[in-house]
Amino acid sequence: MKVALVHYWLLGSRGGEKVLEAICRIFPDADIFTLFYDPESVPALIRSRNVKASFLNPFKRFYRSLLPMMPMALEAFDLRPYDLIISSESGPAKGVLTSSTSKHLCYCHTPMRYLWELYPAYRNEFHQNPLARALMSPIASYLRTWDYSTAARVDTFVANSRNVKHRIWKTYRRKSRVVYPPVPVESFHHSASSDYFLMVSEMVAYKRLNYAVQTFARNGRKLKIVGDGPEYARLRKLAASNIEFCGRVPDHELKELYARSTAFLMPGEEDFGMTMVESLASGKPVIALSRGGAMDIVGNGCGVLYPDPLESSLEDALRAFDRVESLIDPVQLRIRASAFSESVFERDFRAALNRCRSGCPPARPGAARAEPVNPETSTRTRLFGYHPPILGQPE
């Protein structure tokens, strides 16, 4: 069986690239197709494979501005020799053209949020230039039409969380299975707390780091922030001396920062949120906004969920954490993290592939599911979080 892996772009090493690495290990002979490729920015495993970049690759420095050209570049890939195509999607990767005899599985990190869910914010808040806003409207309308139509090219959708499963249905009206991303949980370790809270994030507006920085600047608690991005300068202006910006750090340093933290902070809505699992694997609890991937990860006894992306709500969560901190067991946190291990991902991903290749549909839509807990009305959820009773393969 000849396999092609299609990834939106390979210009860094983040969650999407970690998933691609795991899929590469399942298919060691697969070829990789991508819109843009920078070999120096990706893990060695990906560099060792046969990577084919699109005709847009010479202009990768301007990749964000080339979104209108990406459909043409993806459709230019010749995938006729391949029996199985696996697209890794949070950009437009699923838009490739495949033969009628091949199978196409899309592992979806999220439908393109800047075209769908976050489009009003990108147009009206994140883009201050009037010309950019004027140009964005017709381009986004065309891309939404193309993106919706390409969902029909996919035989099987796999979502990286229940949150994304819902978005796939809302955006494309396609059913999907949930297979959580792989985290190397065994590589993390636990150490005594050094009395600081930790955030690990790209510094972009939709991550909502600003209100968290303002909260800690006001209350004086120690906060370390790992990562960088376009919001760095603005966040520095909001910070006080108790907040340390660490920039990007090597993996061994990041693991030590996790291990010695008091708790991990997730102030925005994540598609999944591998950093939360990394914190649990380090035996450290999570304080998170009760939306998105946090609802899959932060199980009972694993930390605190809070309802609103506001300073007052986060401050309430920090006080709640102070009350329950002594009750949290690092061993239980690490057990919880094991539900998102690399071995669990491989098992569940292979099961999804087998269903795709055999043509079986996802579980029937009427299958029983856990009812979500209202974080504003449930004391236990506010203090300890909520986790679904089904791990690995919900629904």
When mean pLDDT is compared across 34-48, 131-145, 322-336, the lowest value belongs to 131-145
Locate the domains of the chain by residue range.
Answer: 3-154, 185-339+376-384
For 265, phi and psi rounded to 5 degrees? -115, 130
pLDDT of residue 119: 78
CA 361 to chain centroid: 25
Mean pLDDT of 232-255: 95
Mean pLDDT of 24-46: 95
DSSP 8-state assignment for residue 115: T
DSSP 8-state assignment for residue 208: -
CB count in 10 Å sphere of residue 50: 9
Q: Are strands 197-200 and 263-266 parallel, antiparallel or unpaired?
A: parallel
- Would you say residue 21 has pLDDT above 60? yes
pLDDT of residue 314: 97
Confidence of residue 113 (pLDDT cuts 50, 70, 90): confident
| CATH no. for 185-339+376-384 | 3.40.50.2000
DSSP 8-state assignment for residue 324: H
When mean pLDDT is compared across 112-126, 151-165, 328-342, the lowest value belongs to 112-126
- Would you say residue 88 has pLDDT above 60? yes
Q: What percent of the chain is modeled with pLDDT above 70? A: 89
Asked whether 44 and 116 are in contact (CB, 8 A), the reply is no
Between residues 56 and 115, the one the model is more confident about: 56
pLDDT of residue 365: 45
Distance between CA atoms of residues 87 and 133, nearest Å = 30
Q: Which of 208, 387, 164 is nearest to 295 (CA)?
A: 387
Mean pLDDT of 372-382: 43
- Would you say residue 152 has pLDDT above 60? yes
pLDDT of residue 117: 82
For 4, phi and psi rounded to 5 degrees? -120, 135
Distance between CA atoms of residues 259 and 189, nearest Å = 6
Asked whether 202 and 227 are in contact (CB, 8 A), the reply is yes
- Would you say residue 394 has pLDDT above 80? no
Q: What is the mean pLDDT of the chain?
A: 88
